[in-house]
Amino acid sequence: MKPFEKKVWLASPTMHGEEMKYMKEAYDTNWMSTVGANINEVERIAAEKAGVKYAVALSACTAALHLCVKLAGEKLYGRPAVGHGAVEGKRVFCSDMTFDATLNPVLYEGGIPVFIDTNPETWNMDPAALEKAFEMYPEVKLVVCAELYGFPGGIREIKEICEKHGALLIEDAAEAMGATYEGRQCGSFGDYSAISYNGNKIITGSAGGCLLTNSLEDANKARKWSTQAREAAAWYQHEEVGYNYRMSNVIAGVIRGQYPHLEEHIARKKAIYDRYAEGLKDLPVKMIPFDEKSVPNYWLSALIIDEDAMCKQVRGETDALYIGEAGKSCPTEILEAIAGLNAEGRPIWKPMHMQPMYRMHEFITVDGTGRAKTNAYIAGEAKDVGADIFARGMCLPSDNKMTPEQQDRIIEVIRACFE
């Protein structure tokens, strides 16, 4: 099949024109740095959209997550001594199947991630496994939970478990802006939450993120830390460690121009998901799941291949091999076929307990625990759900600008992999 002349991306920025108006406003008024009307407006809109009181505009969602961990740690344990992190030496329960930016900030602040397995019905943190974790480590007081690919699942249950055990919840809603669970916006469940404006997200500023909170005191702390923790003095006075994390007023202009199109982008992503679901419905695959409590933003469409329809596939650290078989396929074969069309797919996030840097960290399933030393980790009868989804799942091209005709050709190529 002839490749597309222009590449179909997994997810790329979709621009509209208003962005240039606000960027030019920053230029014309000479507010090009980390203060200005665009930043103020982004913070107002972000808080309003998420249903929280305050938003702090920052250089990246990772910066927002870092300050979430710092705020939570200081609330739980007090301000650390200089040179020590806010959660120094403390276990923190973290989503396992996610991008590593979700939990790297725990390491920045000296914490010890403990990975919680994935629920096969939601692809998000499993509430039952989290309960198991609290049984094992009742002293833990912080949970970091990500909402995968814009499909929230179980976040209220996660929040209730945290409250039951006196723990704070950090909600990584980087991929889920505009999605809701039980009618409530993602980003509003956490004691502290973070959203992303990275280049491939549902709306973008090319970069940037926001920390979300209902505490004015915490919002002001985060703003102070994000500008090198400068004290209110005529000179440069510093009493604690700070960071250069504030959002640029120029980037804020892009985000300000994108926000009116959030619902439009979500509707387009839903149409893409629905077209895949219809076009692939008689194949031995299932689309990423969600229940009636969730209204996703459909950021990335993903699928998982039925176990008995998987051909042989082996993955190393950076390479993968497979053996084709009639009537069967695997993510490696499908991704190669999509790439042959000049389109971009992607494997599912490789679970954190399988990553080289985290393999010796604890990993807790519903019915067992252990240290994941291989990609086929088993603890007694415990099932490693995240590893299974990683082995059989993949993300499909989900770009807003993909035409129905292009998507139909991608579907045709996927179908051919099972012939």
| pLDDT (tens digit per residue) in 140-178 | 999 999 999 999 999 999 999 999 999 999 999 999 999
| Mean pLDDT, range 204-214, rounded to an integer | 98
How far is residue 69's CA from residue 103's CA, in Å, rounded to a whole number?
9
pLDDT at 394: 98
Q: Left, alpha or beta for 148 (phi > 0: left; psi -120 to 50: alpha)?
A: beta
- Whether the pLDDT of residue 91 is over 80: the answer is yes
pLDDT at 367: 74
Q: pLDDT-based confidence at 377, cuts 50/70/90? A: very low
How many other CB atoms are found less than 10 A from the CB of residue 243?
18
- Whether the pLDDT of residue 368 is over 70: the answer is no
The dihedrals phi and psi of 346, each to the nearest 5 degrees, come to: -160, 145
pLDDT tens track for 34-55: 999 999 999 999 999 999 999 9
In the set 90, 132, 201, 328, the catalytic residue is: 201
Strand pairing of 91-95 and 142-146?
A: parallel
- Whether the pLDDT of residue 381 is over 80: the answer is no
3-state secondary structure of 354: helix
Q: pLDDT-based confidence at 364, cuts 50/70/90? A: very high
pLDDT tens track for 241-294: 999 999 999 999 999 999 999 999 999 999 999 999 999 999 999 999 999 999
3-state secondary structure of 405: helix
Q: pLDDT-based confidence at 369, cuts 50/70/90? A: low
Q: Please name each of the domains of the chain with its CATH number.
A: 18-261 (3.40.640.10), 262-350+377-416 (3.90.1150.10)
| Mean pLDDT, range 21-32, rounded to an integer | 96
Catalytic residue flag (residue 201) = yes
pLDDT at 383: 74
3-state secondary structure of 267: helix
3-state secondary structure of 172: strand
| Mean pLDDT, range 370-377, rounded to an integer | 37
What average pLDDT is seen over the chain? 95
Per cent of the chain over pLDDT 90 is 95
How far is residue 127's CA from residue 154's CA, in Å, rounded to a whole number?
7
pLDDT tens track for 192-206: 999 999 999 999 999
